[in-house]
Amino acid sequence: MTGTRYGAVYWLDDCGDDLARRPALTGDTTVDVAILGGGFSGLWTAYYLLRANPDLSVAVFEKHFCGYGASGRNGGWCSPRYPVLVDELVKHFGADAARATFRTQRATVEEVGRIVAEEQIDAHFVPGGMLGVARTERQWARLKAAHAAYDRLGLADDADLISADEARERIRVTAVLGAMHTRSGASLHPARLVRGLARAVERRGGRIYEDSAVTRVRPGQPAMLETAGGMVTARRAVVLAGEAYLAGLPDWRRQILPMSSMIVATAPLDAATWQAIGWQGYESLSSDAYTKDYLTRTRDGRILFGSRGAPYLFGSAMPESALAEPTLYDPIIANLRAWFPVLNEVPITHAWGGYLGVPRDGMPSVHFDPASGLANAFGYTGRGVATTALAGRALAGLIAGVPAMVPDLPMLRAPGARWEIEPMRWIGVRYIQNAFARIDAAEFRNASPPIDAKLAKTLAPI
């Protein structure tokens, strides 16, 4: 049996290039726009800036290599779902803003598909929609409530509640009680997208420096970035696009909380196994568990099973080693086999994790402050594949001064509330992680929710 490579990211193994590093910055430089982070946020911002104004000089500074972060290791869901639940958006910003956000997000999925075709990025973009299955009575109640919330806003044209039998006709998952099928939404190869986007930025004249960690951000006129190899002066804007990793910068430590998510990948399945499972439509598949289960069928015939990750570490620490611990993946592998018993003997080839960013109030922030020269796009809480494209276009429009690129949406806001200081942060986040696992376990036993379920849901930002 093939051994599992813990810490190895399937997508990066299969990204179509050898991840050779671009040269680091050596010496000082001056550009119009300097971007921290070579993930989707930074690269979409660079891409749209250069499309809006090819005369701008734009440079990206990446600590490791483009796609090292969440962008190169996620579930590959290019989702029409915004990071914030529709009801929460209505509560905070009103029905019109919520409707506009969801419609724009849906249109962004299509725009990503158009751009990968235009730029000839082989990102395995398949507009197969999404299938959210309920595997407990309470999950089914939540799916119905979610559908009703879309319906109230006139957004249910895209989504149908379907019976267990109809769901099984698409994908044969055990214990399904019903499902929501959403027509919009695509599955893609995130590492091929992020690497291809980097090359598209370079074709349009952008510069990318890898192995170039930013060690300090200096607001001002002009704003500056410090790296070990040289100082960067940005005439127009410094863009902070480091998502979870922004927590590593002195002034941003409490602005975002790194939360891990973890994925296992099977070996490619044979035709008979696919025959047993179905899944001909490449839908993005999920359950409605609090600990989040998200699944993807890859072009080479694997199943990826992702789930909420490892326990939060004190002080927002993000060591790579914390996500290579084999025992962390045992429950995910067990869950995969409970969903698809036909996979009991199939090898798991890869098991990896990554860090996503959670803002204290759960709301993404896309912002440019000309006075300080600082701009940012972050806070996607695990739903960033499509949202980063929307954020990057909006931010590029703000910086380049092209209002038509900037939709009037709640995401256009300065960074919100900060996280609590330690040890309160650690105590609170660990408590919520533990409570969500207990709520899921009770739902599966068909037992009453834990006594503190309401408290945990109230405390959680999402």
Find the part of the chain contacting ligand FAD (CB under 6 A) among 13-21, 126-134, 153-161, 238-246: 238-246
Q: Identify which of residues 138 and 207 has a Cβ nearer to ligand FAD in the complex.
A: 207
Find the part of the chain contacting ligand FAD (CB under 6 A) among 30-38, 115-123, 129-137, 314-322. 30-38
Q: Which is nearer to ligand FAD, 135 or 350 (CB)?
A: 350
Which range touches ligand FAD (CB under 6 A), out of 137-145, 375-383, 423-431, 449-457? 375-383
Q: How far is the CB of 37 from ligand FAD (least distance, A)?
A: 3
Residue nearest to ligand FAD (CB): 384
Q: Which is nearer to ligand FAD, 76 or 178 (CB)?
A: 76
63 binds ligand FAD (CB under 6 A): yes
Three-state SS sequence of the chain:
CCCCEECCCHHHHCCCCCCCCCCCCCCCEEEEEEEECCCHHHHHHHHHHHHHCCCCCEEEECCCCCCCCHHHCCCCEECCCCCCCHHHHHHHHCHHHHHHHHHHHHHHHHHHHHHHHHCCCCCCCECCCEEEEECCHHHHHHHHHHHHHHHHCCCHHHEEEEEHHHHHHHECCCCCCEEEEECCCEECCHHHHHHHHHHHHHHCCCEEECCCCEEEEECCCCEEEEECCEEEEEEEEEEECCHHHHHHCHHHCCCCEEEEEEEEEECCCCHHHHHHHECCCCCEEEECCCCCEEEEECCCCCEEEEEECCCCCHHHCCCHHHHCCHHHHHHHHHHHHHHCHHHCCCCEEEEEEEEEEECCCCCCEEEEECCCCEEEEECCCCCCCCHHHHHHHHHHHHHHCCHHHCCCCCCECCCCCCCCCCCHHHHHHHHHHHHHHHHHHHHHCCCCCCCCHHHHHHHCCC
Which residue in the set 50, 214, 303, 374 belongs to the binding site for ligand FAD (CB under 6 A)? 214
CB of 104: closest distance to ligand FAD in angstroms?
Answer: 15
Residue 232 binding ligand FAD, by CB under 6 A = no
Q: Which of residues 294-353 bind ligand FAD (CB under 6 A)?
A: 294, 306, 353
Q: Which of 124, 147, 383, 425 touches ligand FAD (CB under 6 A)?
A: 383
Minimum distance from CB of 422 to ligand FAD (Å)? 20
Residues of this chain that interact with ligand FAD (CB under 6 A) are: 36-42, 61-64, 68-71, 73-77, 79, 213-214, 241-245, 248, 261, 263, 294, 306, 353-356, 378, 380, 382-385, 388
